[in-house]
Amino acid sequence: MTETTAHERFYSVIPAGGIGSRLWPLSRADAPKFLHDLTGSGQTLLRDTWERLAPIAGDQRIMVVTGRAHRAAVEAQLPALTDENIVLESEPRDSSAAIGLAAAILERREPGVIIGSFAADHVIGQREGFRAAVRQAIAAADAGYITTIGIRPTEPAVGFGYIHTGGSLDVPGAEGALAVTEFVEKPDLDTAKAYVEGGDHLWNAGMFIARADRLLEELHRSQPELHDGLVELAAAWDDPVTRGPAVDRIWPTLTKIAIDYSVAEPAADAGRLAVIPGTFDWDDVGDFASLAKLNTAGRASDLAILGEHARVLADASSGIVVSRSKRVISLIGVQDIVVVDTPDALLVTTSEHAQRVKSVVDALRMGGSGDVL
Amino acid sequence: MTETTAHERFYSVIPAGGIGSRLWPLSRADAPKFLHDLTGSGQTLLRDTWERLAPIAGDQRIMVVTGRAHRAAVEAQLPALTDENIVLESEPRDSSAAIGLAAAILERREPGVIIGSFAADHVIGQREGFRAAVRQAIAAADAGYITTIGIRPTEPAVGFGYIHTGGSLDVPGAEGALAVTEFVEKPDLDTAKAYVEGGDHLWNAGMFIARADRLLEELHRSQPELHDGLVELAAAWDDPVTRGPAVDRIWPTLTKIAIDYSVAEPAADAGRLAVIPGTFDWDDVGDFASLAKLNTAGRASDLAILGEHARVLADASSGIVVSRSKRVISLIGVQDIVVVDTPDALLVTTSEHAQRVKSVVDALRMGGSGDVL
């Protein structure tokens, strides 16, 4: 098959599931991270993601997998999203179920389809560089690889996973494609520094491009029950009579596992994973330290202010203020501060402690303050 | 005259005027510091002040000088306050006008009255120690001195003014009375340390006890126009027909000057000022650093939480949270922090910068955000 043909068989999938607990109290169960504008662009991360993907294969070839509770909000953001292209989860069951179901549904509809899964809540700078990487990834996927796009690290980040790259793969149309020898969890700082200096590690940006049948095959190998459940669910999906009962019966039984573990790592171990190094700016905006950095262009002495109605008076302060109220916020002499002001919850911390926000969310849940989560 | 007689002629005056700008956004134009509970006692500082003074000469002998706007709030706090004992200012004109008017009114009503002026918004620990100091101050006042009560410093505070004490005065009933050689403005830290080590400096707690005629005499010497205005106003005060026009005509013309400058300093220079050293705990709660200290008993690693409905979740944090909302407030890894959360304004600073809050208030006023002041 030619690259053009592969490209024509491409379908984007946007799993829009995670709440983004480390961005509480901005991100909430009822207002997850992908429904926020985190860059001051004036639109949500979900809408940004859509607009980044639409030029690749058209807006009729983007599927969104999201929670039932978010349907209205998602559809409001994406007016071109059709009923066929929205997959609603009755409850979250992690990324293997979300992406695997999309793969199974699309493979039934269009055998030989190539899917590309891209998180709804990441920030990407250069769309052209992103599309160039996706084009190569489609070629590698068409050649049979489970393909990911890894980001050339610009600093020894400890908040991301890394991809250890191997030798060049000889794939027509995917000149940059490298073998992947290993997926690595978030490293410590020294390890991250060694990765950056060594030059053969990329950031894992959670992007997976593969023929749907190949992805399901990997899933079948590592998680046969999950695979079978998804295939069965997909078979019932496009008939309104059978979908509901199948969802009720099968969805709650599906194994919760990240696609990194069920597909990417086993494929890497078996030499069936390729990576396209991407040189575009990328950030998963995983916590407020990352959000601050993103909105100050990395200038540590700056104070970033996010919020349409923000009324902030700052004196000798740096960090980030996120305002979701019309209250006057005054900062005096606080450095690297994180202030997130919402109608029912306030967070004050520092960039250094941004990763610990998740544990506070857990404590609030345990402590009976679930009303603000 | 005997001490008993002097005591019978005693009248307390509570100037309840200042907003307490350094405690913004807790203290406001419409909710000044004296209307807040700053100690977690369950009652306002004004009410505390009243209860501290009532045992001295009875609750019929306490006069409150406050702004017209605060009348209802003050009367709600002090049900025993009679119409004769409330003096309403049409606009603030500093402490010489407030205390001087009370002195002039009371001197007309009761020639020879001894007045004691005590701020409405200070915190005092041991009431018995306070009353003992007042008893001595009344005796010194009866002997003709402008008398103040100075607090034996427990640390080299830089937020208070100091009183330089001279030799012992031989006043019956006021065995502790010392001459005052000088009033000193807020010192720097080294100077404050030298004061504490030297042992002949006391904190200026802004308490003045004097025969009303003596106080007016000092005022006449230093501020003759102000004195004459106050005496004229007092002459018209107790007639409902004459009070209003006199207030309208005279009040706006009165010189704004603190009583420290108009009465205490000139009296000190002339050897007519006495001080009774007080050994009770005292704090003017001048800023949030002071408030934090007061509410953590000085333990710097503690986090003080003020607010009836406070929902605070703190992890590895110290300082103070003042909550005037029902919002969940979460702090992570912030030390010596000051968070003041109110429905329309939020302040985040540190103890170190607490004195700078006033400049923020000024900036908000200049910047058109007077709605939150």
Residues A107 and A193 in one domain: yes
DSSP secondary structure, B262-275, as one string = IIIHHHHHTT-EEE
Q: What is the pLDDT of residues A123-138, one digit of tens each?
A: 998 899 999 999 999 9
Per-residue pLDDT at B1: 45
Is residue B21 domain-shared with residue B117, that is, in the same domain?
A: yes
Q: pLDDT of B148-159, one tens digit each? A: 999 999 999 988
Q: Does residue A272 sit in the same domain as residue A300? A: no
A178 CB within 8 Å of a chain B CB: no
- How distant is the Cα of A287 from the closest Cα of chain B, in angstroms? 13
Q: Give the integer Cα–Cα distance in Å for B66 and B43.
A: 18
User: Are both B306 and B334 inside the same structural domain?
Assistant: yes
Q: Which of B349, B359, B369 sits opposite A328 (nearest CB)?
A: B369
Residue A247: pLDDT band by 50, 70, 90 thresholds? Answer: very high
Q: Within an 8 Å CB–CB cutoff, is residue B334 touching chain A?
A: yes
Q: Which of B40, B3, B32 is nearest to B16 (CA)?
A: B32
Residue-averaged pLDDT of chain A: 94
Q: Can you spell out the DSSP letters for B179-196?
A: EEEEEEPPP-HHHHHHHH
In A, residues 253-312, which contact B (CB 8 Å cutoff)? 311
Residue at which a domain ends, from A283, A298, A322: A283
Separation CA B363–CA B39 (nearest Å): 28
The answer to whether the CB of B314 falls within 8 A of the CB of A367 is no
Q: What is the pLDDT along chain B (373 residues), one digit of tens a residue?
A: 444 589 999 999 999 988 888 999 999 988 999 999 998 888 999 999 999 999 999 999 999 999 999 999 999 999 999 999 999 999 999 999 999 999 999 999 999 999 999 999 999 988 999 999 999 999 999 999 999 999 999 999 988 999 999 999 999 999 999 999 999 889 999 999 999 999 999 999 999 999 999 999 999 999 999 999 999 999 999 999 999 999 999 999 999 999 999 999 999 999 999 999 998 999 999 999 999 988 887 787 899 999 888 899 999 999 999 999 889 999 999 999 999 999 999 999 999 999 899 988 998 888 888 888 8
Shared domain check, B305 and B239? no
Q: Is A365 on the interface with B (CB under 8 A)?
A: no
B296 and B267 both lie in a single domain: no
State how many domains chain B has: 2
Nearest Cα residue in chain A from B323: A346
Residue A246, domain CATH: 3.90.550.10
Q: What is the mean pLDDT of residues A271-291?
A: 94
Q: Cα dist. A326→A38, A332, B76, B346, B371 in Å? A: 18, 19, 32, 11, 12
Contact A311 B369 (CB under 8 A): yes
Instruction: Quick: pLDDT tens for A312-360.
Output: 999 999 999 999 988 999 999 999 999 999 999 999 999 999 989 998 8
- Contact of B349 with chain A, judged by CB distance below 8 Å, is answered with yes
Q: What CA–CA distance (Å, rounded) separates B185 from B178? A: 19
Give the domain-ending residue among A283, A308, A333.
A283
Contacts of B353 in chain A (CB under 8 A): 316, 332-334
Does the CB of A362 have a partner CB in chain B at under 8 Å? no
Asked if A332 and B347 count as a contact pair (C-beta separation under 8 A), the reply is yes
What is this model's ipTM? 0.86
Question: Is B332 close to A349, i.e. CB distance below 8 A?
Answer: yes
Which residue in the block uniquely carries the two structure tokens 């590698």? A140
User: Looking at residue B4, what is its pLDDT?
Assistant: 54
Q: Residue A3: pLDDT band by 50, 70, 90 thresholds? A: very low
Per-residue pLDDT at B372: 87
A307 in the same domain as A252: no
Chain B positions in Cβ-Cβ contact with residue A367 (cut-off 8 Å): 313
Domain that holds residue A352: 288-372
B279 and B299 inside one domain: no
Task: Examine the domain organization and report whether A206 and A348 are in the same domain.
Answer: no
For residues A218-231, one letter each, b for 16 or more C-beta atoms within 10 angstroms of the residue's C-beta and e for the rest, the string is bbbebbeebbebbb
Peptide bond into A25 cis (omega under 30): yes
**Position of tokens 């059709």?**
A82
Distance CA A362, CA A167 (A): 42
Tell me the pLDDT tens digit for each residue of A20-48. Answer: 889 999 999 889 999 999 988 889 999 99
The residues, any chain, with a CB within 8 Å of residue A202's CB and separated by 6 or more, are A150, A151, A152, A153, A162, A163, A165, A275, A277, A278
* The two structure tokens encoding residue B59: 């609750």
pLDDT tens for residues A156-206?
998 899 999 999 999 999 999 999 999 888 999 999 999 999 999 999 999
What are the tens digits of pLDDT across the range B200-252?
999 999 999 999 999 999 999 999 999 999 999 999 999 999 999 999 999 99
pLDDT digits (tens, 9 = 90+) for B33-73: 999 999 888 899 999 999 999 999 999 999 999 999 999 99
- Cβ contacts from A onto B, under 8 A: 122
Q: Which residue has the tokens 């069920």?
A: A262
Burial, A69: exposed, middle or buried (Cβ in 10 Å; 0-12, 13-18, 19+)? middle
pLDDT digits (tens, 9 = 90+) for A60-77: 999 999 999 999 999 999
* CB contact A335 to B (< 8 Å): no
Domain stops at, among A249, A283, A317: A283
| One-letter amino acid for residue B270 of the chain | A
Binned at pLDDT 50, 70 and 90, residue A373 comes out as confident
Q: Which of A304, A310, A268 is nearest to A285 (CA)?
A: A304
Task: Say how far apart CA A141 and CA A263 lie, in whole Å.
Answer: 14
**Banded model confidence at residue A4, pLDDT cuts 50, 70, 90:** low
**At A1, is the pLDDT very low, low, confident or very high (cuts 50, 70, 90)?**
very low
- The chain B residue lying nearest A24, using CA atoms, is B330
Cα A285 from Cα B192, distance rounded (Å): 49
pLDDT in tens, A299-316: 878 999 998 888 999 999
- Residue A344 Cα, gap to closest chain B Cα (Å): 5
Please tell me the distance in Å from A192's CA to the nearest CA on chain B: 24
A327 contacts B346? CB cut-off 8 A: yes
CA angle A43, A49, A50 (to 5 degrees): 90
State the CB neighbour count (10 A cutoff) for residue B131: 15
Contacts of B367 in chain A (CB under 8 A): 313
- Write out the H or E segment, with its range, that includes residue A116: strand A114-117
Residues B271 and B342 placed together within one structural domain of the fold: no
> A197 and A67 in one domain?
yes
Please check whether residues B95 and B160 belong to one and the same domain.
yes
